[in-house]
Amino acid sequence: MPIDPKLLTLTQWLSPAYPLGSFAFSHGLEQAVHSGWITDAAELREWLEDIARHGAGHSDALWLRLAYEAEGAQALHILNQQCRAYAPCHERLREGERQGQAFARITSQVWDMELPAYQFQIALGRAAKLADLPVDEVITLFLQAFLGNLVSAAQRLMPLGQTGAQSVLAQLNAVCIDVAQKTDGKGLDDISGSAFLSDISAMRHETLEPRIFQS
């Protein structure tokens, strides 16, 4: 059975090697570790599952789907403004903004597409539409890449070896699939979040010194 080249495009976009600067952001995880809210692999897995199901993972997955389904440049622009308005703090806004700018610049040049420098979730959704990639797979791999980046950040912040880190991520694979599937048929009214400690961590991180991550 031949390999679908679209799958290779998708895995390239969401690879840690794709130059978005994702490694520089911890999504408030640095503050959570500093505050003693995450101390081991079990607590990390629970924290990340909450983010995926009830926090930015869920909402970003839905923003991505809405961007994929948006019709016309004006609708996409309005959606991007709404996405920015929903960011719970400055660091979260900047995180999506900087990664989105890098993604749009590189992807536009390599794949020869007109891609606005929007928030990463929006830019990725639009690029997936232009490249005719399957949206369910895009969302699922986006979530895995997002959580994988946070697991990698945790390895630099706490005692977590390679085996433990990969075990945490493997346990979250089913969560990625479930969250992606549950965005199907949902709309803007379904954007919500209740992972409050994650949001508080992101807010408190803005004044954390010293620190190694931008968020």
- Amino acid letter, residue 197: L
Q: How many CA atoms lie within 13 A of 94 on its CB side?
A: 14
Check: CB of residue 136 under 8 Å from CB of residue 181: yes
Q: Which two tokens stand for residue 5?
A: 């080249």
Kindly indicate the confidence band of residue 54, based on its pLDDT and cuts at 50, 70 and 90: very high
Backbone φ and ψ for 118, nearest 5 degrees, come out as: -95, 180
Q: Which two tokens stand for residue 93?
A: 């806004």
Reduced to 3 states (helix: H, G, I; strand: E, B; else coil), residue 28 is: coil
| Ranges 45-49, 58-62, 87-91, 162-166: which has the least confidence | 87-91
Check: CB of residue 193 under 8 Å from CB of residue 54: yes
pTM over 0.85: yes
Q: Which tops the pLDDT comparison, 193 or 48?
A: 48
Pick from 93, 159, 131, 117: nearest CA to 8: 131
* C-alpha to C-alpha distances, 137 to 3, 38, 133, 171, 181, nearest whole angstrom: 15, 30, 8, 18, 10
Backbone φ and ψ for 134, nearest 5 degrees, come out as: -70, 120
Check: CB of residue 26 under 8 Å from CB of residue 198: no
Q: What is the pLDDT of residues 155-164, one digit of tens each?
A: 999 999 999 9
Averaged pLDDT, 84-90: 93
Check: CB of residue 187 under 8 Å from CB of residue 68: no
Kindly indicate the confidence band of residue 5, based on its pLDDT and cuts at 50, 70 and 90: confident
Cα separation, 197 vs 178, whole angstroms? 22
Cα separation, 130 vs 124, whole angstroms? 10
At 94 the pLDDT is 94
Into which CATH architecture does domain 28-205 fall? Orthogonal Bundle (1.10)
Pick from 108, 50, 116, 118: nearest CA to 82: 118
